[in-house]
Amino acid sequence: MAFQERLSLSLTLAVGGQSFTIPGGQVEAFSVRLLPHGFTATVSFWTGLEKDDAALFTAFNTPALLDVKLTVAGGYPIPEPPPKPLLLHGLARAREMEARTHGVVEGAPVRFRRYTVAFEDAARVLWRQHRPTELRTDTSLADLLTEHTAGAFTLDCDWDVLDEKRPLICLGLGEDAPGVGFYDFVAWLAASRGGVWTYDCMKDRYALAARKAPVGKAVLLSREKVGQAEVVFPSVPRHGARVLNASAVQPSTKPLTSKVAVAGVHQDHLVRTPILSQVEQRQTLEEARLRAPQRRVRLTFSHFPTVAVHPGAGIRLEGARWGGVAVGTGEDLRSVELSLEARSLNPGPHAGLQTKDAGYDVAMSVLLERVADLTVALPPHRVPRYPIHVEGKMLAPGGGEKDRIYLLSEDKKTSVLTWRITVPLWNKVVSVPSEPGFFPGHFYFPPYKNARVLVALHFDRAALHRHLDWADAARLPQDGQGDSILLGKNDTSQTSIIHDFQDARPVWHLRRVSGPDTETVRMAEGVMMLQTKELQGGASAESTYDVSPQVETARADLSAGVGGAMGETTAAYRVAAGTSQAKLDGATAQTQAKLEAAQGAVSAKVGEARAELDGALAGLEGRTSSLTSAATEARAALEGLK
């Protein structure tokens, strides 16, 4: 449904340090699709240029970043005070240009150029091409996100998930995740943690929040501006959910039900953790995902509205012309999508070049949801691929540079054991679970100090993937085709077990070294040797007492305990807050349903009473007609007697 309207436009282009203002009358056409999390738009305009090297032409042809700002106002007659114009501020994604000659003036051709710019909100343009791979420790997501805006736009963080200081955050958006950019990461973060990502076009600000922002005072939308109203019923999820904890220490299966789910249809979510609070936190998150979207209203306009209808704006359909029983009337609604297309009624390149407004053929619609609808709309996105793999070195305090010692930390509350690894690429230290890896449990070989290892980095945790080198003296010459096990601290305090081949015959060798003192057991073809001796001039194993391991172990244990306690407290708070919010949301939904049912019952009773009253009035009208006829006859009879 299209209508004709006179619109006042303002278009500003900034590129290469220069700014160009295009009068609204030069805009030939534009289209906009605004969503809660951003927008896409195109605009085409004419310019009358007499020189090929004009400033706009030259700047437009450079690869410099093109900043676009378009404002749209209309809805004549304009009310007082006039509403704020619709503001679209973004960056160019693509641009085109064509030239056209229109006659000759004083022997020189007059050229017009038609420019077309496709632009989007800044985060969509920049973050889709931003693919960082980095490791952060002891920081929050709020700090990380703010840093990656690079001052190009403003992001507000109002979500406890973002404020929490995390031991580890990994961004793996480089070659290991083809096609996944920072835009996808932010959308995935909101989707996977139950957050809300919004963009306020009027303030030109983004926000990541725990819940939808409340709608301010809802403004009345005139029925005269609306040509058509439709009720939209979104797809309803018919599945329940189950959270399965695959830990052998704390195995559990928690079913989560939904009032609209079909029995036996569910989606399973698998976790593996011995920490109960983490499981409960995941259960709270998945339960919140089962919210069913409520019905919506789509309005197609017949005139440009004189109130704000951009996403996030509050609107109320109320008044005599709306009626009292139409769906969506009498309640506050929130705009969630705005579509706007306009094409000039004077498409020529030379019409109205210096005017601020012009007549347009306009097609405009808005999608409204109920304020109580808690479902969240997020942009389509690709899921980042984790883990990524980088090299690290095992960290252990004290001892010499080549001492094969290790540091093991324990969280006293959860009994989780961890090792610490330095990642040289980013000069960061991460903790990894202390697990046997590929060995069965009766092998205990903790990774030693400075050993090269491959670390698997997930979004918020790390794991030891595998070892990358051998210890000094553990590797044997190839000629003997031998195998060895090297145990102990260093060359002067160790035990080695070697099996190799000498003269094509197997030889087994056990050797213990403690400074100059050595013990040897050797078995060969027909020979078994046991020897103990003290080497003259051998290096002595000096008895020293280094408290560094104990201090670092205590410090790591304390850090792990504090971190674990904070994590458990945070998880408990989120579980409690989620449970309370779910109860509040449920009570609100029930109250709203009862209110709607009551309104329906009242409307039905009013309809019945009105029908009875109309019937009574009709009957009274018939009796009045009989009485009037009798009176007329009596009057005629009296006149006859005269």
Q: What is the mean pLDDT of residues 349-362?
A: 76
pLDDT surpassing 90 at residue 137? yes
For residue 631, CA distances in Å to 530, 579, 618, 625, 634 come to: 145, 77, 20, 10, 5
Residue 53 banded pLDDT, cuts 50, 70, 90:
low
Q: What is the pLDDT of residue 558?
A: 58
Alpha-carbon distance of 471 to 487, in angstroms, equals 10
Three-state SS for 335-394 is EEEEEEEEEECCCCCCCCCCCCEEEEEEEEEEEEEECCCCCCCCCCCCCCCCCEEEEEEE
CA within 13 Å, CB half, 334: 20
0.85 exceeded by pTM:
no
The secondary structure of 538-570 as a DSSP string is PPP-------HHHHHHHHHHHHHHHHHHHHHHH
Mean pLDDT of 2-25: 92
Q: What local confidence, expressed as pLDDT, does residue 211 receive?
A: 92
On average, the pLDDT of the chain sits at 85
pLDDT band with cut points at 50, 70 and 90 for residue 69:
very high
Q: Report domain extents, the chain.
A: 2-123, 124-333+365-370, 468-546
Q: Beta-carbon neighbour count of residue 426 at 10 Å?
A: 15
| pLDDT value of residue 328 | 78
Q: How far apart are CA 301 and CA 638, in angstroms?
A: 66
Q: Is the pLDDT of residue 104 over 80?
A: no
The predicted pLDDT at position 581 comes to 54
Name the phi and psi angles at 95, rounded to 5.
Answer: -150, 150
pLDDT of residue 320: 77
What is the model's pLDDT at position 179? Answer: 83
**Does the pLDDT at position 251 exceed 90?**
yes
d(C-alpha 105, C-alpha 50), whole Å: 10
- What's the confidence (pLDDT) of residue 346? 81
CATH architecture of the domain formed by 2-123? Beta Barrel (2.40)
Q: Is the pLDDT at 582 greater than 60, yes or no?
A: no
Q: Is the pLDDT of residue 623 over 60?
A: no
* pLDDT over 90 (residue 505): yes
Contact present, 252 and 244 (Cβ < 8 Å): yes
